[in-house]
Structure 1
Amino acid sequence: MFRMPPEWAPHERTWMAWPVPNTTFGPGELARSRRAWAAVARAVRRFEPVTMVVPPGGTEEARALLGPEVELVERRLDDAWMRDIGPTFVTDGTRLAAVDWVFNGWGAQEWASWTHDAAIAREVAALAGVPVHPSPLTNEGGGIHVDGEGTVLLTETVQLGPERNPGWTRERVEAEIHARLGTTKAIWLRRGLTADYPPHGYGTLGHVDIVAAFAAPGVIVAHTQPDPTHPDHGPCQENVAFLRAQTDARGRPVEVVEVPAPTAVRTEDGGWADYSYINHYLCNGAVILCAFDDPRDEEAAAVFRALHPGREVVLVDARTLFAGGGGIHCVTQQQPAPAWLRP
């Protein structure tokens, strides 16, 4: 049986995709975005190999920012969010495989294009030398989070949204998720953060990886918004209360660790900020954590140091990433070591 390992399991490498000109990365933002992506890649490369997918002819320019240690491969791209366009790697303990979800531009949003990105999961699987497990479910890697012991976090507005899977029931979605990931229990959050929905920008319609994530079996880090003027204040309180009432696939009560949002509640353009420390990435020996030049950056770092003793917490400025619609977790995708096995 193939299973998706938890993010803290050993990795063989991290996959990323290079920003290309599109609606998200306009002429004024492309250079800045590439510097932001490069900062994440260089941080991760300190701890494990990184392969960056770059557009045809883009190797020389990317190399100048990424340095010599990041592997570059050329493939056609529409966007740069490898968590969502790339495959979800699974293992049976000896072999790796790649789940290829249907990708339709985060619910066929009007600003998105995905002709090339819909094929990137298969391209990455081929580069990794692993077989593809195609799924009929429209889904993205940012819409799932697993504990490695049978539990998966989902969001109702993603997998059950008519923009992705019209006509699919909760039972059908769960059956497909469990079959692909080797999970047995789904915990459904009602929705994501306000800025993740129209008309606020380049959102995903509610990805879970900005709201809640497993830190260990039975332990979930959850985004909270302390400012009562922010529209996420109430929904975050609801999420925490809901998660604390849950049990995982092994019947354990869920422990919830609240991680307050940065103090900034507005973005530079005046919109509601969805800045979140939950959108972090666990690589071999490190936590790559979003930073926002905010007083709460170090508070969040202390939380993650306590949760992941023995891992170095590396803060990387994520404000440019969030301006494009995501964070550090959204731009990375782990390729696990195949020998991992669920206890």
Structure 2
Amino acid sequence: MTWMMPSETARQERVWMAFPPERSSIGHTAAETHEARTAWAAVAHAVLEFEPVTMVVDPPDPAAARTYLSSDIELVEAPLDDAWMRDIGPTFVTGDDGRLGGVDWVFNGWGQQDWATWDKDSKVGAEVVRQAGAELIQSTMVNEGGGIQVDGLGTVLVTETVQLDKFRNPELSKADVEAELARTIGATQVIWLPRGLTRDSQDLGTRGHVDIVAAIPSPGVLLVHSQRNPEHPDFQVTADIISMLAGTRDAQGRAWEIVEVPAPETLRDELDWVDYSYINHLVVNGGVIACSFDDPADTEARRILEQAYPGRKVVTVDARPIFARGGGIHCITQHQPAV
């Protein structure tokens, strides 16, 4: 059996999400939890315009969830620590015989972060695979869905600071990681970014997820986050990444057409430099759920996404409450391909 992770533009069956539980890193107070739940619900309802949504809910929370979510959103109960479904959920793949599989990576709180808990979240991947009726593909590698971007043809983008993180996979070499990505998601060409964005590399981040840095909207094309203000530390970070990517090729041997997507003009929030990124969007059937930031760059980013995904309707959701908690729209969703 050969498994392959399809492109995110392939036809989808549904999108999986998780409802923010009480007393998590997403919300320490009732007001913070309400803000998070409102933001997560806005994304879920945006997706619902295009395809079904299944929301995993902590067992104490179904009644609360229904006050935020329409009856069209299916609820499934499972214990939760947090609500970043891209990372705690499985990575869905399809077999060469047409079967649906789900890769259950080891999840350890983004490299054993001292603010994270993951005893419950580490079991969510296998439970979602079961609920989806997919075949379980168990991996012993620590990885998260936000740490990989694929073209569905064998190319995968990763970052050295994630898969080779000493708090994730201290014993693994690049060759080991590449072999496991080949076995689980069909990767034949692994492109290693040196790092991720500045904010995401700090204490409350993931240490460099690729899904706020680069995306592959179609074969041979890369959307790459570009910080154009030299005051922001990501100015040099993204320039280096773009230069590095220009020297790589995809699994078919093609040089990339690189489309630079400007960062929002907003540079800081109350904590630090922001890592606001339009790259962290979700592709759905006939649409794209994109981040907005009430920023002058929102309009240009939307135009770029409309051109990158012709024939799809771009719907924007204010992602500032999500980014304030450490991620974006792609981070809180996990798509299940149709088979």
TM over 0.5: yes
Match of 1:197 in 2: 201
Match of 1:231 in 2: 233
Instruction: Say if 2:221 and 2:258, in contact at 8 Å, map to a contact too.
Output: yes
Match of 1:59 in 2: 62
Match of 1:83 in 2: 86
2:248 paired residue among 241, 246, 249 = 246
Aligned length: 335
- Rounded to whole Å, the distance in 2 between the matches of 1:258 and 1:163 is 32
Superposed CA offset, 1:168-198 (max 9, x none): 1000110101110011000110000110123
The answer to whether structure 1 residue 103 and structure 2 residue 104 are counterparts is no
Unaligned runs of 5+ in 2: none
Match of 2:165 in 1: 161
Match of 1:179 in 2: 183
Letter in 2 for 1:188: W
The alpha carbon displacement at 1:57 in A equals 2.8
Instruction: Say if 2:25 and 2:82, in contact at 8 Å, map to a contact too.
Output: no
The alpha carbon displacement at 1:74 in A equals 1.1
The answer to whether structure 1 residue 282 and structure 2 residue 286 are counterparts is no
Superposed CA offset, 1:268-300 (max 9, x none): x14110000000000101010000000111110
- Rounded to whole Å, the distance in 2 between the matches of 1:78 and 1:210 is 23
Percent of aligned pairs with the same amino acid: 54
Equivalent positions of 1:21-36 (< 5 A) are: 21-27=23-29, 28-36=31-39
Letter in 2 for 1:61: A
Unaligned runs of 5+ in 1: 339-343
Instruction: Say if 2:161 and 2:194, in contact at 8 Å, map to a contact too.
Output: yes
Match of 2:3 in 1: 2
Instruction: Say if 2:178 and 2:187, in contact at 8 Å, map to a contact too.
Output: no
The answer to whether structure 1 residue 255 and structure 2 residue 254 are counterparts is no
Letter in 2 for 1:196: D
- Rounded to whole Å, the distance in 2 between the matches of 1:23 and 1:17 is 14
Equivalent positions of 1:124-163 (< 5 A) are: 124-163=128-167
- Rounded to whole Å, the distance in 2 between the matches of 1:198 and 1:64 is 35
| Alignment TM-score, normalising by the size of structure 2 | 0.97
What secondary structure does 2:3 align onto?
coil
| Alignment TM-score, normalising by the size of structure 1 | 0.96
Letter in 2 for 1:19: P
Match of 1:45 in 2: 48
Letter in 1 for 2:84: W
Instruction: Say if 2:103 and 2:139, in contact at 8 Å, map to a contact too.
Output: yes
- Give the superposed CA RMSD: 0.8
What secondary structure does 2:4 align onto?
coil
- Rounded to whole Å, the distance in 2 between the matches of 1:272 and 1:198 is 10
Runs of 4+ in structure 1 off by over 3 angstroms are none
Superposed CA offset, 1:65-112 (max 9, x none): 111111111110000000000000111151101100000000000000
1:206 paired residue among 194, 208, 212 = 208
Letter in 2 for 1:68: S
What secondary structure does 1:29 align onto?
helix
Moved more, 207-216 or 86-95: 86-95
Letter in 1 for 2:215: A
- Rounded to whole Å, the distance in 2 between the matches of 1:176 and 1:256 is 27
